Amino acid sequence: MNSREILKKTLNHQQPERLVVDFGGTAVTGIHCLAVKNLRAYYGLEDRPVKVVEPFQMLGEVDEELLDAMGIDVIGAYGKNNMFGFANNECGWKPFTSNWGQQLLVPDDFLYLKEPDGSLLIFPGGDVKVAPSARMPGTGYFFDAVIRQQPIDEENLNPEDNLEEFISIDNDTLDYWERTVKQLSLAGKGIIASLGGTALGDIALVPGMNLKNPKGIRDVAEWYMSTVMRPDYIHSIFEQQTELAIKNYAKIFDRIGNQIDAVFICGTDFGTQDSTFCSPEQFNELYLPYYRRINDWMHQHTEWKSFKHSCGAVETFMPLFIEAGFDIINPVQINAKGMDPRHLKNTYGKDLVFWGGGVDTQKMLSFGTPAEVKKQVIENCEIFARDGGFVFNTVHNVQANVPADNLAAMMEAVKEFNGI
Amino acid sequence: MEEILEKLAYCVEFGKINLASPYPPDMRGQDGADELTKKALEMGVPPTEVLNKGLVIGMGKVGVKFRENKVFVPQVLMSAKAMSFGMAHLKPFFNDGSVVRKGKIIIGTVEGDLHDIGKNLVAMMVEGSGWEVIDLGTDVNAGKFVAAVQANPGAVVCLSALLTTTMVNMEKIGKAVKEAVPGTIVAIGGAPVNQDFSNKIGMDVYAPDPQGLIDYLGNLN
């Protein structure tokens, strides 16, 4: 059985031959470029500049060599453009030295301005003539959005202004998906695709870092407030966004069929460290109907599984995620309130695939010892892997400061669990 | 007088920011915290009472509801915005010393980190409990914190971080502050930090939520 077949069994809640592993399949299950460098060194791979496949979080490429060395089963189909709106695939690459001194490769349109304090400013669409849309602090390891909120005129707010980034997919992009998925499918790995357009109010996307002159509600705090203050406005956005996304997905499906196994639908975080960002009632009213429509369409027309990311203490939302039609939940933040692995598996394991939760990243992976990491990984695998329904990944991306020894201990534990 | 202060507290509690604000729906077309604060002052209500019997009361109620998971981040942001619109009218009285607040905090997200939702929530809720807040923003290094403490002796320093890569900077900043101005109280908060971490790096307070910090500050007075 190849990786893809084992992933399929896993996603269908059948006991697979071994635990499947994802690193790099999505922008929420990836590895920071510095950690990629350290991993390559650990596995004795050539020390060469790492390609930045997702520049917002500075995620590094998990290439074929590293896939093989780490025993990874899943690869990601990423969109043509990145979050800043310029090409990050099928593009030219140029050298770039990061503030932490790492030699990297970035897309040709990765154009930036360095401020006196060392901060980097990056521009939407690679256009340096407009205001920058994101900033990386001089001592930071990735970017965050620069908020470009225009004054809000309450009487004249127009939902269309928040829909600028959602457009009908064109033939070039359809060709891109067809080429990309065909190429990726040759590897015999499972494929998760980030097709885009279905994230409902993801605050990483709300500021519109790919837009040169974003209009509407673009300030993160204002967006959160709008979910309560201006529900009609938000409903209107979600309604139109959902309708368009389903049309786009239908066109993509016509080109790629069931060559992909899962789709990253939405990264909107509903959890904080010990609570949620809204009440279950508000989730039911504002989000669930749209998620349900997207997921119903997918389940009726494709074999794709639906992947939902939400950080934080979302145990109380798990029944709602199931009702909304999600198949997969990520990152399974096991150290947040109520997110006990055994409880999650016993209560929701029949309905949800846990993609993540293999090891805590806030404390254990960054600050634990290799022995502690190994112990936690084995324990979590024993809990989550029963009867399938578990894709091994950390809780969110592997951060820049994770010691290579801890990553090695994590992968050794997975191999040990798999009897390798 | 009591009536307008009660109304003001209600506006803050439920996030009725100003006349144009569409929430709560049953208050559409009515004055919000902005207009009511202005009117209260024009009516001759002492500014200290506008602060303590209006804005602080409303913010206190929402703080308790937030801790009890009866309201969530959006509602707190709305309340804080309503409060800040009211506060703007009180600024001249803070500046001329006719309204004295409980004390002062200096808050910022530490060097390397640009995340500020949590930091802003804490800042706004502490301000809403009657403290003066000096917000240094995000990506704040030790030098800026030290300079702010030197300019504001006795202020409590509050450090925020969201990332495992930046929480480590709290130790460096906290130590620099304590070295420069001995006796300064340093509090930390943010998703990846906890009491153990606070103890390990020698900080004075770990606050798991805004109300935790407000309670701590309340005991200082």
Decide if the complex's ipTM is over 0.90.
Answer: yes
Contact A139 B112 (CB under 8 A): yes
Looking at the fold, whether B55 and B113 belong to one and the same domain comes out as no
Region of poorest pLDDT, from A13-22, A36-45, B173-182, B212-221: B212-221
- Report CB contact under 8 Å: A228, B73: no
Neighbours of B46 (CB within 10 A): 15
User: Nearest CA to A167 among A239, A251, A248?
Assistant: A248
Count contacts between A and B (CB, < 8 Å). Answer: 91
Q: pLDDT-derived band of residue B221, with 50, 70 and 90 as boundaries?
A: low
pLDDT bin (cut points 50, 70, 90) of residue A420 is: confident
Name residue A355's beta-bridge partners. A391
Angle at A313 between CA A312 and CA A318, to 5 degrees: 110
For residue A366, give how far its alpha carbon lies from the nearest alpha carbon of chain B (Å).
7
The last residue of a domain, from among B76, B95, B114: B95
pLDDT of B1 higher than 80: no
Please write the tens of the pLDDT for every residue from A63-118: 999 999 999 999 999 999 999 999 999 999 999 999 999 999 999 999 999 999 99
Number of separate domains in chain B: 2
Report d(CA A306, CA A329) in Å as an integer. Answer: 9
Task: Check CB contact under 8 Å for A225 and B21.
Answer: no
Which single residue is written with the structure tokens 């357009």? A197
Which of these three, B41, B63, B95, is where a domain ends? B95
Of A154, A228, A366, the CB nearest to B78: A228
Co-location of B18 and B86 in the same domain = yes
CA distance A178 to A50: 26
B79 reaches A (C-beta below 8 A): no
Residues of B in contact with A275 (CB under 8 A): 69, 72
- Tell me what the pLDDT averaged over chain A comes to: 97
The DSSP bridge partners found for residue A77 are: A193
Residues of B in contact with A135 (CB under 8 A): 114
Last residue of a domain, one of B39, B67, B95: B95
| Buried residues in A391-413 as b, exposed as e (16+ CB within 10 A) | bbbbbbbbbbbbbbebbbbbbbb
The range of the structural domain enclosing residue B48 comes to 2-95
Question: What is the predicted pLDDT for the residue at A246?
Answer: 98
Residues B75 and B147 in one domain: no
Domain boundaries, chain A: 3-46+59-85+150-417
CATH number of B42's domain: 1.10.1240.10
Best CA proximity match to A76, nearest among A86, A85, A89: A89
Q: Which residues on B lie below 8 Å from A230 (Cβ)?
A: 22-23
- Whether residue B91 is found in the same domain as residue B119: no
CA distance A416 to A395: 20
CA A343 to chain centre: 24
> What separation in angstroms does the CA of B202 have from each of A103, A147, B142, B147, B197?
36, 35, 16, 21, 8
What's residue A150's pLDDT? 96
Residues B140 and B207 in one domain: yes
Helix (H) or strand (E) holding B217: helix B210-220
CB contact at 8 A, A1 and A17: yes
Indicate if B116 and B160 belong to the same structural domain: yes
B210 and B132 part of one domain: yes
The CATH topology of domain A3-46+59-85+150-417 is: TIM Barrel (3.20.20)
Tell me if the pTM is above 0.90. Answer: yes
**Residue pLDDT, tens place only, B18-41:** 999 999 999 999 999 999 999 999
**Inter-chain residue contact B164 with A274, CB threshold 8 Å:** no
Same domain, B77 and B178: no
- Cis peptide, bond prior to residue A280, ω within 30 of zero: no
Same-domain check for residues B78 and B126: no
Percentage, residues of chain B above pLDDT 70: 100
- Select from A237, A312, A306, A299 the least CA-distant residue to A270: A312
Asked if residue B128 and residue B87 are part of one domain, the reply reads no
Structure tokens at B185: 């109280």
